[in-house]
Structure formats: structure tokens, C-alpha cells
């Protein structure tokens, strides 16, 4: 079983970027923890990061039809990328949107997610733990689907 993890713009700067908001963990730390947790469940992760909207769309189109689920942090694109929303809406696998900070406790422009309506759910506000919670939620969804189909 494979899961696609997409990190959006500026997430490659974690650890240095506004640690009071995003924490001290680096993207490499998060990816390590995700891989470690996924391996416990026999899941392989395909992890991608891009600062470019079109590249994120390309990843969704390239890998989204091959994987069992998607975890995505669209970052700033959350609030206005109809292109990413449309690429997500084509997928038939469960998608979990994730954010390190609580987007609803921040600036008003961050309160709206154009991508959330095409996702199974959204996890935000738990720092790097948000990603691990998203993975656990996705695993639970996939296990439930598997048991229903057996």
C-alpha cells in the first residue's frame, strides 16, 4: 500500500521559518517520523514538496491514481488554488488535508480553505503532530475500507 504525501510552498523552510508558529521541527524530521510510522503499518510513502502550484498538480495527477490515499498540506495554496482543488477532486482515494498551525486561529484570510471540501477531513493546529494524526486517520479509513470490501 502506498500513500502520497505532498508538502506545499515554504514547508522546505521549516525549522527556520517562524518557529513560534510552525515549531522547530524540520521537513526532514517530519518525513522521518512519517516514514517510521508508515513502516509500522506496512505502508510505503511517496513524499513530494514543491513551492510551485503546477508541480503540485503534476504530483497529484502522476501519483494520485496509483496510491491508496493522499495527505496534503497545500500551505498558502489552501486559500486560493482552484487548480489544486480541481486536481484533488478528480481523485477517488481518501485525502486528508493537514496544517501545522490552527488556520482558524490566525489571520482571517487563512480561515477559508478551497481544498478542504474535496478532502475526507482536515487536521490542523498540532504542529508536526498534525502530519502523524493525518497518517493515522488515513490508515484507519483505509483499514475500514479494506474490511468492508472483504
Does 129 score more than 90 pLDDT? yes
Average pLDDT, the chain: 91
**Mean of the pLDDT values across residues 136-141?**
96
Q: What is the pLDDT of residue 92?
A: 96
Q: In the chain, where are the structural domains located?
A: 2-149
Which residues are known catalytic residues? 22, 99
CB 34 within 8 A of CB 5: yes
Q: What are phi and psi of 65, to 5 degrees?
A: -85, -10
For the stretch 16-58, pLDDT in tens is 877 677 777 899 999 999 999 999 999 999 999 999 999 999 9
45 vs 150: which has the higher pLDDT: 45
CA distance 33 to 38: 8
For the stretch 100-117, pLDDT in tens is 988 876 778 777 799 999
Q: What dotted CATH number matches 2-149?
A: 3.40.50.9100
CB 84 within 8 A of CB 56: yes
Amino acid at each position: 500500500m502506498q500513500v502520497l504525501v505532498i508538502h506545499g510552498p515554504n514547508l522546505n523552510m521549516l525549522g527556520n521559518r517562524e518557529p513560534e508558529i510552525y515549531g522547530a521541527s524540520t521537513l526532514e524530521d517530519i518525513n522521518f517520523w512519517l516514514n517510521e510510522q508508515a513502516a509500522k503499518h506496512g505502508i510505503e510513502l511517496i513524499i513530494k514538496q514543491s513551492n510551485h502550484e503546477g508541480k503540485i498538480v503534476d504530483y497529484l495527477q502522476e501519483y494520485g491514481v496509483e496510491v491508496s490515499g493522499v495527505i496534503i498540506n497545500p500551505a498558502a495554496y489552501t486559500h486560493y488554488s482552484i487548480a489544486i482543488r480541481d486536481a484533488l477532486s478528480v481523485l477517488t482515494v481518501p485525502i486528508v488535508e493537514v496544517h501545522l498551525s490552527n488556520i482558524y486561529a490566525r489571520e482571517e484570510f487563512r480561515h477559508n480553505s478551497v481544498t478542504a471540501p474535496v478532502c475526507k477531513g482536515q487536521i490542523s493546529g498540532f504542529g508536526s503532530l498534525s502530519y502523524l494524526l493525518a497518517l493515522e486517520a488515513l490508515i484507519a479509513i483505509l483499514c475500514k475500507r479494506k474490511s468492508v470490501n472483504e
